[in-house]
Amino acid sequence: MKVRIDEDLCAGHGRCYTLAPGVFDCDDRGQGSVISEDVPEGLRAQAELGAQNCPERAIIITEN
């Protein structure tokens, strides 16, 4: 699976990197960032949890 954050939609609530620290981090502005676009299968649940809890729906998950 691949994951990315739409920077135009991200408002920096921080839910993604709080709930899924193995997949997301924050940049120097407090906006969410993706640690690695290619998410290992073991982190799938974290990626999905982060996406489900994003108020702006700024996280996009696609299958490889």
Task: Give the mean pLDDT of 29-48.
Answer: 96
Range(s) of the domain holding residue 33: 2-62
Say which CATH number the domain at 37 has. 3.30.70.20
- pTM, two decimal places: 0.92
Number of domains into which the chain is organized: 1
Q: How many residues does the chain have?
A: 64
Burial class (CB in 10 A: 0-12, 13-18, 19+), 24: buried
* Mean pLDDT (whole number) for 10-39: 96
Q: Quick one: which H or E segment has residue 24?
A: strand 24-26
| Distance between CA atoms of residues 30 and 45, nearest Å | 23
Q: What is the mean pLDDT of residues 17-36?
A: 96
DSSP letter at 45? H
Residue 23, pLDDT score = 98
**Is the per-residue pLDDT at 64 higher than 80?**
no
59 has pLDDT over 90: yes
Tell whether the model's pLDDT for residue 12 goes beyond 90: yes
